[in-house]
Structure 1
Amino acid sequence: MPFTLATWNINSVRLREPLVLRMLAEHGPDVLCLQECKSPVEKIPLEGFKAAGYTHMVARGQKGYNGVAILSKLPLQDVGDKDFAQLGHARHIAAQLENGTTIHNFYVPAGGDKPDRAINEKFGQKMDYLAEMRDWFHAEKPEKSILVGDLNIAPREDDVWDHKKLLKVVSHTPVEVEALGATQDAGRWVDITRQDIPEGKLYSWWSYRARDWDAADKGRRLDHIWATPDISNAAHSSHIGRAVRGWEQPSDHAPVFATFDL
């Protein structure tokens, strides 16, 4: 059962419902994982998504911030969530397709401005969150699973516009990159985007602060699609919908896509 999956930090699903509907119409993924929905589950505009063919949803929400949702044309079973680092935030949801594939949708904490937990509580929360993800994957040993989401870390030198300038900037610091690597290794996760696009600069996020984000192109690859080794070879056709970042009133993230022949 081939299916295309997309992940997108939407930065308010209610505010940007028209953009979600446009993306679904133009790109047509079978499954769309959203982060930073900023909405209680009951207020997610599901009717419009159902009308577009996305009749299944698994979600966790909060008023005004965080929130994750999986919209799907394919039947989904809710298989739970985890409150990593005990933050009380809606940052993880898992669902299973009828073919037995489990999809984990994550929104890892951004971590604030200073990469020092002694002076920045948010950075400590981010590091604790990653450590608990790592430990969970060590214990659970996931199989036939896909992990997607805004992981808020750009791990490789070519995942950022300037490696040296961003070494002390939260999202690309060595301690974060090491923590993400340990989390990835714990589940033996394969970075599908880089499996398909192994070389070159690649970004999924561009700051709102840039006057002309496209021309400046000071991006970071914060959004990821991973898979366990038993299904990683079934993945192909990865790409980032960069043009979506240029739509009217956009999220600062672009959607990331991959197709799986499972």
Structure 2
Amino acid sequence: MKISIATWNINSVRLREPTVLRFLEERQPDILCLQEIKCQNDQFPMKNFKALGYEHIEVAGMKAYHGAATISKLPLERLPTSFCPLDHARHVSTRVVADASRGDAGDFELHNFYIPAGGDVADREVNDKFGHKLDFIETMRAYFAERFALGDQHQVLVGDFNIAPHEHDVWSHKQLLKVVSHTPLEVGILEDLRQSHDFTDTARLFRDDDEKLYSWWSYRAKDVMASNRGRRLDHIWVSPALRPAAEATGRDGFTIHTDMRVWEKPSDHVPVVQVLDLGAL
């Protein structure tokens, strides 16, 4: 069984609902994880998503800010998780029932994150927002240490991590070394989280670091694709138990939908998709 998981910082789901619906109709992911939905739970536009077959929807909303939602063709079971030290709506955690015929063997945990951006100064002593970002990632580390200790090995982490870790995940490594999202401190902490449980960053599974990969481009660019000053802030990670499912779909199993950055009324992020072949497990 193959399933496709998409992650997308939509920058207001109500403003860009037509764009999301177009993406679902044209690209047909099985699961779509949205961040920065910027609405409360009862304001989330469920009706049209359900009409397209996405009947399973879990939302963590917040008035005007932040927020995350996971919409799925597959059954979802909400998990009682807490990651944000400030109690902002920045994550949705679910168990995905991917293949009922296989019992629990087809299930996995899916964690949809909107990690804080961190403000403008990479120093928690003078910038509370940066400290919040580091604390959020530390809470993630503690959570997954507990889950793996309990034997929950099938984990998928997706979302806007607000960190571009590799040299060619940003348009200019040298010019952005002191810019929040690519500072050595952030990159190191995110890498420590990834390595702590040997998560695989699926974007780089079949792509060397000399290949430029971006998923975000600033609204300030006059001709965004001509200048191409992007960053790869959006990620999909899989735990070691699920790595064979990502490997089985090959290089084409991972896609960044760059073309959508110039759609009408675009988000500054584009969807990132990973196909998993659960039959390879």
Structure 2: distance between partners of 1:138 and 1:109: 21
**In structure 2, the residue corresponding to 1:185 is in which secondary structure?**
helix
1:120 and 2:119 are equivalent in the alignment:
no
1:220 and 2:211 are equivalent in the alignment:
no
Structure 2: distance between partners of 1:165 and 1:251: 24
Task: Trace 1:1-262 onto structure 2 (pairs within 5 A).
Answer: 1-84=1-84, 86-98=85-97, 99-141=106-148, 142-199=152-209, 200-235=211-246, 236=249, 237-262=253-278
Structure 1: distance between partners of 2:206 and 2:240: 14
Structure 2: distance between partners of 1:163 and 1:83: 30
Structure 2: distance between partners of 1:185 and 1:31: 26
Distance 1:33 1:132, change over 3 A: same
Tell whether the 8 Å contact from 2:163 to 2:182 is kept in structure 1 after alignment.
Answer: yes
Q: Which moved more, 1:110-119 or 1:135-144?
A: 135-144
Structure with the largest fraction of helix: 2
Structure 1: distance between partners of 2:212 and 2:133: 25
Which one-letter code corresponds to 1:143 in the other structure? Q
TM score, norm. by length of structure 1 = 0.97
The number of equivalent residue pairs is 261
Tell whether the 8 Å contact from 2:30 to 2:73 is kept in structure 1 after alignment.
Answer: yes
Tell whether the 8 Å contact from 1:83 to 1:89 is kept in structure 2 after alignment.
Answer: no
- Percent identity over paired residues: 51
Structure 2: distance between partners of 1:121 and 1:97: 35
Which one-letter code corresponds to 2:33 in the other structure? C
Structure 2: distance between partners of 1:246 and 1:210: 12
Structure 1: distance between partners of 2:138 and 2:75: 32
Structure 2: distance between partners of 1:258 and 1:170: 26
Q: Which runs of 5+ in 2 are unaligned?
A: 98-105
**In structure 2, the residue corresponding to 1:210 is in which secondary structure?**
coil
> Shift in Å at residue 243 of structure 1?
0.6
Structure 2: distance between partners of 1:64 and 1:198: 38
Q: Which moved more, 1:208-217 or 1:92-101?
A: 92-101
Structure 1 consecutive aligned stretches of length 4 or more whose deviation exceeds 6 Å? none
Tell whether the 8 Å contact from 2:83 to 2:140 is kept in structure 1 after alignment.
Answer: no
Q: Which runs of 5+ in 1 are unaligned?
A: none
